[in-house]
Chain A
Amino acid sequence: MNNLEKYLHEYINDTLDPEVNAKLGEEYEKQGQGAAALSYFLRAAELTNKIDKEFSYCCLLKTWKQVHKIGRRRKFEKCQLELAITHLTTRPEAYLFLSEWYSKNNEHHAAYLYACLGLKHKNSEPLRFDVGYPGDYLLYFQKAYHGWHLSKREESKKIWRKLGTMPNIPLEHKKIIEKNNVNFGHTIKPLQNIEFTIQTKTKSKHEKYHINI
C-alpha cells in the first residue's frame, strides 16, 4: 500500500481528523493532484480553525499553493493569501507570497509594504507542511528590490550587502544578489529581480477545441 492509499484509509477511518486530512492532501500534492490536495487541506483548515490557528493557516496556504502551481487564477490567489493573513497576522509566509504577487504586476509600493510586514515576523518556526516559503532572505530581497524602485537607494544598498553575507541562499538567487551588489551605484538600470513565472493561456494544453468545418 502506498502512502496515498495509507492516508486514504486513515481518512476513511476518521474523516474528521485534521492531521490525516492534511497528510492525505500532502500525498495528493506530491502526485501533482492539486485539486484533490486542495479539498483535503481546506477540510483540515476548517477542522483546526479553533484548535490550532497556525496549522489552520498552514493548510490555507496549502490551498493557495495548489492553485498557484496550476496557475491562471491570480485573483483567487491574492484573495486566498489575504484570507490567510487575516486568519493569522503573525507569520511571514503569506506576506512574502503577496509581495511576490505584487512584484509580478510591478506594483512596487504594495510589494514593498508586504515585504516589510513579513519581516516583522522573521525567524518564525517553520510550518508543519511545506508551503513553498524559501526563507526570510526573500523578504529582504523583495524589500531591497522594490525599495530601489521607490527611491530608497541607501536602504536598498544596505539590504543587498546584508543579503550578500547571508548563508543558505539558493545559488540562482545568490547570483542575482551578487550582481546587484556589483552593479549598485554603477548603473541607472533597474536591478535584477527574480523571474516569478505566470502561467498563461498559451501554455495550456487544453485550450483548443476541435472544429470540424
Chain B
Amino acid sequence: MINNLAKLVINNGGMIKPLILPEAEGRGMGLCNVSIFLDDNGEILANIRNVHYILYHDEFEQNFQCKWGILSYLNPEDDIKLRTYNYFCKLDPDTLEILSSTEIDTSKKDIEPVWEFIGLEDVRLFRWEGQLYASGVRRDVKENGEGRIELCKLDTKDNKVLEVTRDRVEVTPHTHLEKNWMPILDMPFHFVRWCNPLEIIKVNPKNKFIKKVTKGRIDVIDSEVVHRDDTPLNLPLGLRGSSQVIPFGDNGDRICVTHETHFYYHQNKKKDAQYYHRFVIWDKNWKVKRVSEQFKFMDAMIEFACGLIIKDGNFIITYGYQDNAAYALKMPIKLLDKLKWDIDE
C-alpha cells in the first residue's frame, strides 16, 4: 500500500494545489470531497463541498479524544445538523488556482428538510449530451433519512450557478441508502452503482413523476440495472465509488478512482475508520483489466476523492483530507507504472 501518493507524485513531476474558499464563504469550516471536471471548452470546473462541521479526528495513539470521542463531527451545538453547501469553482488550467467560486443556488428546488443530513452530499460534476450535471446523495426529504442519488441540471449564467432540475433516482428493489454512484462520462445517464461485483445502472430522466413527501413535492425518476457481473474480485474490502468513470486510452478502456472504508471500534468503543483509494481500469466491455494497490493521498486516516480528469498527460485527482481541507493533485499518467497492481489481467 502507498500511504502518501502525493509524495510519489511530487517527486515525479506532478504537483499539488490546496483548494481554499475565502473565509467569508467557507466560514472556517470543512472544505472537502472536491469533484473536478474538464469541460468541453477546456475550462476546469470543480465543486467543493463545504460542510457545517469541523471534523475532529485524533490519529496515531489517540490520546486526545474530545468531548465526544476521537472521531467527532463538531456541528454547531445549537444546530446539530450535518449541513452541506456546494461551491462551484473555475480553476486555472495550469496552476489549478481557484479563479472564481460561487455557492450553487438550490432555491428553486429546495423543500424544508426533515432529516439531519441536509443538502446534496459528495457531488460529482459532469456533462451528458451537452448539459452540465451534478449528482450526489440527498437524505433530507424523508424522516427516516433514506438516501437517494439525485441528478441535477446546472445552469451557469451571469456568474451564478443555478440548480434548475432535481431528479431523485428511485431504485428497485427498495434500499435505504444509495450513495457514491459514479457517472460514466461517455455513457449518458449511466452510473457505476457498485464496483465489486460491477453493477451499472441506467437512469431514465424522461420517465419522471412527482411524489409527495413530508414537506413538499419532489421529482422522481426511475432506474434499471443494465449490467451486473456475477463474480466478485478477490479484495479485502468492498470497493465503493469515488470519482467519475472517464475514458482512458485509445481502446475504449475506462478508469476511475474508488475508495474503501475499514470501519472498526477503538478502545472506547467509538467508531473509527481508515479510508483507502485505488485506480480501477475496465476494458470497453467492462471486464476488469487492472486494480491498483490501495493508496492514501497524504497519510491521513480519512480522505475522500470525488473527481478525476485527464489533461495534457496528467490525471488531476481532487479529494478531501479529514473532511477539513481540499486538494487537487496533478499526477503524470506514466506514474501508473510505478504502482503495484493487485489485479493485472
Contacts and interface: CB of A to CB of B under 8 A. Distances in A.
Choose among B28, B61, B106, B113 the residue with the greatest number of A CB atoms under 10 Å from its CB: B28
Interface string A28-61: 1001111110110011011101000000000010
B112 A33 contact: no
Interface in B31-64: 31, 52, 54-64
A207 interface: yes
A211 B31 contact: no
A33 B67 contact: no
6 contacts: A4-B18, A12-B4, A36-B324, A42-B56, A209-B113, A210-B110
B110 A211 contact: yes
A73 B17 CA distance: 30
A73 B74 contact: yes
Contact of B66 (A34, A83, A201, A213): A83
Interface string A12-38: 110110000000000010011111101
Nearest to B25: A205
Contact of A36 (B16, B77, B85, B325): B325
A35 B325 contact: yes
Contact of B324 (A13, A38, A60): A38
B252 interface: no
A99 B78 CA distance: 22
Interface in A92-122: none
Given A45-B64, A73-B74, A36 B31 contact: yes
Interface residues of B, number: 58
Given A8-B18, A32-B23, A46 B54 contact: no
A47 B106 CA distance: 42
B210 to A, nearest CB: 14
Contacts of A158: none
A8 B325 CA distance: 12
Interface in B66-115: 66-68, 74-79, 83, 85, 106-113
B27 A74 contact: no
Nearest to B11: A13
Interface in A111-143: none
A156 interface: no
A83 B58 CA distance: 13
Contact of A212 (B66, B111, B323): B111
B321 interface: yes
